[in-house]
Amino acid sequence: MTPFTIGIIGIFVLIFLIFSRMHIGISMGLVGFLGFAAIIGWEPALGLLRNVPYTTFASNDLSVIPLFILMGSFAFASGMSEDLYRTVHKLLGHLRGGLAMATVAACACFAAISGSSLATAATLGKVAMPEMKKYNYDTALATGSIAAGGSIGILIPPSVILIIYGIITEQSIGKLFLAGFVPGILEALFYIFTIMVLTRRRPELGPPGPRTTLNDKLISLLKTWEVIVLFIVVIGGIYLGVFTPTEAAGVGAFGTFVFSIMRRKMNWETLKSSLLSTANTTGMLFLIVLGAMILGYFFSVSRLPFELATWVGGWPVNRVVVLLMILVTVGLLGCIMDSMAIVLLTVPVFYPMILQLQFDPIWFGILVVRVTEMGLITPPVGLNVYIIQGITGEPMGTIFKGVTPFIIADLCEILLLIAVPQITLFLPGLMAG
């Protein structure tokens, strides 16, 4: 058997294991180990199991992941997200569908200090849902806007998935962060526009909330200064080259910790629960990262990605067709798998193809992440939908009905990002280095 054939068999075994509900990280590691052994031999394969865990875990580059997650946990515990919601609520609430728009906008702002979309959806679900209920919002629209809004978290920096993408493709994390910024904002605008269209056609879906005075608006805006300061320091610091991403994450987590103390929200219990929830998420992610690393060794000795890239490179079709095929594959996987796992699984396979076809790697990273993000709200396994279901207790069917218009908005935005790469690339282009 050629290494290439073993590579193909490996992929099928992997899919089979994942569907048998084996943990995704362990499935990747196991297939990587067995495949590597089949091509190179047992001794080197055991060597892989010996070296890879330590080198993967004891990494300064990857320490950015727990630190950014910790920053998000502190922000969650500090009550900053509730204040954010109240502010945007005051700014937009009086509009038709305004409370749903405020939910989306608050999600986008919270995403700026949190790397996780699940935390965003969970926090906003607790604050925004009762408000929308109070003003007789349609349940589908209310839950849909929270689930969709929560998914913005992945793209707006800091983003754990963009860090992972940067590490496996050796692209600058700073540039990826900047590249994600505008598409993330655009996503929020697309969602807000969707809500506008929906409530214009059927005003009963989202009745206007109370009016507030200009004074009120300004005062509540001032209350969000911590979020603004954190975002400017962390992302600005990376942009200007003052910090490496790891340092920015450490400073951001520490700053959020200090702000939570100032808000009198930090005590022994909240500190403990923030650290534990960070450990839980980090453990889950690193198990997948570890598996993906081992799988990566197998893929590279099987030469599968390179053979595929050369093969696809010879196709007599426009390179955009290949790109669309890749994104559709990623999107379909997004319906059944978690974003992190998809990025770790598909990027090593598709990345050589992207280089071969001379697409911009930063742009591709944003597209892949944007597409997997859609998977958070698409059936059958839309993680955000499950979270919202858990918090609000509304039936799954209603929430999926509620997110449908947002999925259409997602598709429109992705097409726009493909058609106009400058939307993604102009900000990182301005960055020094």
Partner 1 sequence: MLALAGKTISNILIAIGATILALMMFLTALDVGLRYLFNSPLSGAFELVEYMMAIVIPFSIVYCAEMKAHVSVELILARFPKKFQLIVNALTTLIAVAFTGVMAWQNLLYIGEVYDSHLTSSVLLIPTYPFVIPVALGIGAFALMLLIHFIEIASRMVKP
Using the rule CB under 8 A, which residue among 283, 395, 397, 429 binds partner 1? 283
For residue 275, what are its two tokens?
A: 């650290």
CA–CA gap between residue 278 and residue 97 (Å, rounded): 34
The footprint of partner 1 on this chain (CB under 8 A) covers a number of residues equal to 61
Using the rule CB under 8 A, which residue among 159, 282, 356, 392 binds partner 1? 282
Contacts of 282 (CB under 8 A, 6+ apart): 65, 66, 69
For partner 1, what does the binding mask look like between residues 53 and 82, x meaning CB under 8 A? xx-xxxxx-xx--xx--x------------
Using the rule CB under 8 A, which residue among 3, 8, 23, 303 binds partner 1? 23
Minimum gap (Å) between residue 344 Cβ and partner 1: 11
For residue 287, what are its two tokens?
A: 């198990």
Minimum gap (Å) between residue 266 Cβ and partner 1: 12
Does 421 bind partner 1 (CB under 8 A)? Our answer is no
Tokens 């910024």: give the residue.
181
CA–CA gap between residue 18 and residue 23 (Å, rounded): 7
Which range of residues in 45-53, 218-226, 317-325, 399-407 is near partner 1 by CB under 8 A? 45-53
| 22 or 167: CB nearest partner 1 | 22
Instruction: Count CB neighbours of 31 within 10 A.
Output: 25
Residue 211 exposed, middle or buried by CB count within 10 Å (0-12, 13-18, 19+): exposed
Binding residues for partner 1 restricted to 371-390, rule: CB under 8 A = 380-381
One-letter amino acid at 196 equals: M
Using the rule CB under 8 A, which residue among 11, 167, 261, 287 binds partner 1? 287
Alpha-carbon radius of gyration of the chain: 22
Contact in structure between 322 and 357 (CB atoms under 8 Å):
yes
Using the rule CB under 8 A, which residue among 7, 33, 72, 182 binds partner 1? 33
CA–CA gap between residue 42 and residue 149 (Å, rounded): 48
| 212 or 346: CB nearest partner 1 | 346
Using the rule CB under 8 A, which residue among 278, 372, 384, 424 binds partner 1? 278
Using the rule CB under 8 A, which residue among 145, 169, 246, 392 binds partner 1? 246
What is the residue-wise DSSP string for 335-368? Answer: HHS-HHHHHHHHHHHHHHHHHHTT--HHHHHHHH
Minimum gap (Å) between residue 274 Cβ and partner 1: 9
Tokens 């218009």: give the residue.
405
Name the nearest CA neighbour of 337 among 22, 13, 12.
22
For partner 1, what does the binding mask look like between residues 324 and 363, x meaning CB under 8 A? ------------xxx-xx----------------------
Does 40 bind partner 1 (CB under 8 A)? Our answer is no
Is the Cα dihedral 427, 179, 412, 154 positive or negative? negative
Does 51 bind partner 1 (CB under 8 A)? Our answer is yes
Using the rule CB under 8 A, which residue among 17, 40, 189, 325 binds partner 1? 17
What is the residue-wise DSSP string for 382-419? Answer: -HHHHHHHHHH---HHHHHHHHHHHHHHHHHHHHHHHH
Does 18 bind partner 1 (CB under 8 A)? Our answer is yes
CA–CA gap between residue 414 and residue 183 (Å, rounded): 9
| 63 or 172: CB nearest partner 1 | 63
Residues near partner 1 (CB under 8 A): 17-26, 29-30, 33, 46, 49-51, 53-54, 56-60, 62-63, 66-67, 70, 242-243, 246-247, 249-251, 253-255, 257, 271-272, 275-276, 278-284, 286-288, 336-338, 340-341, 380-381
